[in-house]
C-alpha cells in the first residue's frame, strides 16, 4: 500500500493506477499536484518547472477533491434518475387524467342520451290521452284518443264529453260516436279549469287567469261572461 493510500484509505480507488514516483524524476516521489498543469509533481518539479505556478496543492487535498468530485457526480446521476422517474409519473398522471376525462365525457353523453330517451317517451305518453265512456256497469261504450292537454272533464246528459285544453285555452267535445271537435275558444278565456254542464246542456267554464266565468249554450249561439273580477271573482277553479 502506498503512503498516500495509508494517509487516506479512500484514496485507493482513485489512485490505484497512479505511480508513487515522478514521471520526470524517477528517484523522487510525487508530493504535490499542479492544478494549472493538471499533473502530479515532486520537489524537483516544483523547484525547476513549477516555481511560478500558483495553483499547487498537496496530494491529500487532490485526493479529497477527486473523491468529492466523484461523489457529486454520483449525486447528479441519482438526481437525474429521480427527475426521470418524476417525469414518468407526471406523464402517467397526465395520461390517466386525460383517460378519465374522456371516460367522464362518454358517461355524461350516455346519461344525456338515456335522459332524452326517457323524456321523449314521457312526452309521448303525456301527448296522448285516452277517454273512455262507460256505463254504470263498467262497460266501455266508446274510446277516444286525444293529443290535447286535458285539465277538466265533464259529461252532459246527452252523452257528450266536454274537456278543457290548457295548451290553447279551448273547450273540446267528444260525441257519443267518437267524433271530436272544438266547442269554444275566446281570447277572454285564459287557463280554463272549472267545467260544468247543466240539464239544458249549457256549458259553464271558469277562466283561472282571466278571473271570469263563461256560459255557452249547446248550439253556441249564446255566449256571455256571467261573472268576472267586478263580481270579486279571482282565480276560479
**pLDDT of 71-112, one tens digit each?**
556 666 777 888 888 888 888 888 888 888 888 889 999 999
222: Cβ contacts below 8 Å, ≥ 6 apart: 215, 216
**Distance between CA atoms of 133 and 142, rounded to whole angstroms?**
5
- Buried b or exposed e, range 2-27, using 16+ CB within 10 angstroms: eebbeeeeebeebbeeeeeebeeeee
237: Cβ contacts below 8 Å, ≥ 6 apart: 193, 194, 206, 208
With 80 as the cut, is the pLDDT of residue 69 above it? no
- Cell digits of residue 162: 266536454
- Cell digits of residue 111: 346519461
With 90 as the cut, is the pLDDT of residue 217 above it? yes
Q: What is the pLDDT of residue 7?
A: 45
- Cell digits of residue 81: 434518475
Q: Are 24 and 34 in contact (CB under 8 A)?
A: no
Virtual torsion, Cα 18, 23, 25, 29, nearest 10 deg: -10
Distance of CA 22 to the CA centre of its chain: 76
With 80 as the cut, is the pLDDT of residue 42 above it? yes
Q: What is the pLDDT of residue 135?
A: 65
Beta bridge partners of 92: none
- Within 10 angstroms of residue 190's Cβ, the number of other Cβ atoms is 13
Amino acid at each position: 500500500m502506498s503512503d498516500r493510500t495509508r494517509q487516506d484509505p479512500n484514496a485507493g480507488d482513485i489512485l490505484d493506477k497512479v505511480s508513487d514516483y515522478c514521471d520526470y524524476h524517477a528517484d523522487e516521489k510525487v508530493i504535490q499536484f499542479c492544478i494549472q498543469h493538471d499533473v502530479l509533481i515532486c520537489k524537483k518539479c516544483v523547484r525547476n518547472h513549477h516555481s511560478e505556478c500558483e495553483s499547487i496543492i498537496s496530494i491529500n487535498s487532490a485526493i479529497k477533491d477527486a473523491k468529492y468530485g466523484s461523489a457529486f457526480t454520483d449525486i447528479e446521476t441519482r438526481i437525474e434518475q429521480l427527475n426521470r422517474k418524476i417525469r414518468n409519473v407526471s406523464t402517467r398522471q397526465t395520461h390517466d387524467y386525460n383517460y378519465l376525462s374522456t371516460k367522464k365525457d362518454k358517461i355524461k353523453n350516455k346519461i344525456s342520451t338515456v335522459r332524452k330517451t326517457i323524456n321523449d317517451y314521457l312526452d309521448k305518453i303525456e301527448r296522448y290521452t285516452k277517454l273512455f265512456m262507460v256505463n254504470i256497469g263498467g262497460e266501455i261504450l266508446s274510446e277516444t284518443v286525444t293529443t290535447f292537454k286535458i285539465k277538466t272533464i265533464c259529461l252532459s246528459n246527452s252523452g257528450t264529453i266536454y274537456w278543457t285544453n290548457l295548451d290553447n285555452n279551448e273547450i273540446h267535445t267528444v260525441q257519443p260516436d267518437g267524433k271530436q271537435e272544438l266547442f269554444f275558444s275566446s281570447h277572454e278565456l285564459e287557463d280554463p279549469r272549472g267545467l260544468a254542464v247543466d240539464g239544458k246542456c249549457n256549458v259553464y267554464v271558469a277562466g283561472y287567469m282571466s278571473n271570469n266565468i263563461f256560459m255557452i249554450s249547446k248550439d253556441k249561439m249564446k255566449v256571455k261572461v256571467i261573472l268576472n273580477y267586478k263580481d270579486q271573482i279571482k282565480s276560479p277553479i
